[in-house]
Homo-oligomer: A and B are copies of this chain.
Amino acid sequence: MSTNVAVIGASMTQFGQREAWIQGLLAEAGAACLDDAGVAPDAVEHLYVSNMASGEFEGQTGVPNALAHDLDCLPAYTQRVDQTSSSGGAGMYAAWQSVASGASEMTLLVGGEKMTHRSTGEATDVIASLTHPVEYKHGVTLPSFAGLTARRYLDRYDAPRESLGKVAVKNHENGVDNPHAQFQKEVDLETVLESPIVADPLRLYDFCPITDGSAALMFCPESVAKEYTDEYALVSGVGGATDTHVVHERAEPTVMGGVVESGKEAYEMSGYGPEDIDVAELHDMFTILEFLQMEGLDFAEQGAAWELVEEGKTECDGELPINTSGGLKSKGHPLGASGVAQGYEIYKQVLGEAGPRQVDADVGLACNVGGFGNCVITTIMEAGA
């Protein structure tokens, strides 16, 4: 029986186009999280940094060590966690393991990425470096996989194109209430459906933006959490899994095996099932991904996620609110930060601290997707005792 792992603090920076470079963004979120948790810097034993590509984007590596120095956490153990676009979720798993194993009694996780100083083409190229080199050489980047998969989904399940657009509309509406979101403005369905084509049938508003930002969470054993606060969350379940590196080797592109497997693990560990989840943050890098995760996590039957969206069931006042934070779509997607920011939202929701975005939630789930479902982490949290 492992230690029960609690989360006792959370923070995130403003997401969007930021002047600060990676080190500054991480330090901003890290310091705010120390403050939120009421933890002294020298109490931090392990410090994990979720980051995909500070070397490629900025020519700076060794950022965890630099961050420990900046936050005055020396000689805390530090390490970078990289699982491409799901580095943040992987960081939550690493932080959980550090506490559950007894290696650390106070673990700070900070995720971040600085991207907007590079052109969209350059950023897309860095991200595409995670694909198989043969696919990459043929120009198949993540957006093109998304377009192909969306076409297949709409055809196979007889879903209307509008249902994808409604994901974007919903997440933008939610983002209006999130002061940290990159876009805090509504968009209407016509705007989405008439925006420029990027990868047919997907259009500009089906894609998340390129973003700078950072988010942080503080983990410790539940016994230690009680010394700090009465208001903490518990990590009830966590699971991680991979799918083929070569996307075209998958039997059915509309089924993300990594989502299915990581969800099963997280459900099994937590003792909860999909019917117990009150709120979820899904990795809507592309609108189509929200459908695939809803189905992979058993929130909907295969091919039926679009119906729940059409019925409004995933809106904030629906049966299962999805992406109350605005999702990657409107909040932004600073790669290494995104999974941690999902954790931030679930933490706030289960503690009843989500302000104008608050929904009725005891148990929440975050699903963070790396690559095009290449690797996936699912994390379930609930309010502590």
Contact = CB atoms under 8 A, between A and B. Distances in A.
Residue from A55, A100, A129, A262 having most chain B Cβ neighbours under 10 A:
A55
A195 interface: no
Contacts of A75: 241-243, 257-258, 261
Contacts of A56: 55-56, 61
A165 interface: no
Interface in A59-74: 59-62, 64-66, 68-70, 74
A61 B243 CA distance: 16
Chain A interface secondary structure, helix, strand, loop or mixed?
mixed
Q: How many copies does the complex hold?
A: 2
Given A75-B241, A243-B74, A258-B75, A65 B98 contact: no
A94 interface: yes
Contacts of A70: 245
Contacts of A371: 62, 65
23 contacts: A2-B102, A55-B126, A61-B129, A61-B130, A62-B130, A62-B245, A62-B375, A64-B83, A66-B245, A68-B242, A68-B245, A74-B242, A74-B257, A75-B243, A76-B241, A77-B240, A77-B241, A78-B83, A78-B242, A79-B93, A79-B240, A97-B98, A100-B103
Nearest first, the 6 A-B pairs at minimum CB distance are A62-B130, A77-B240, A100-B101, A101-B101, A80-B82, A75-B241
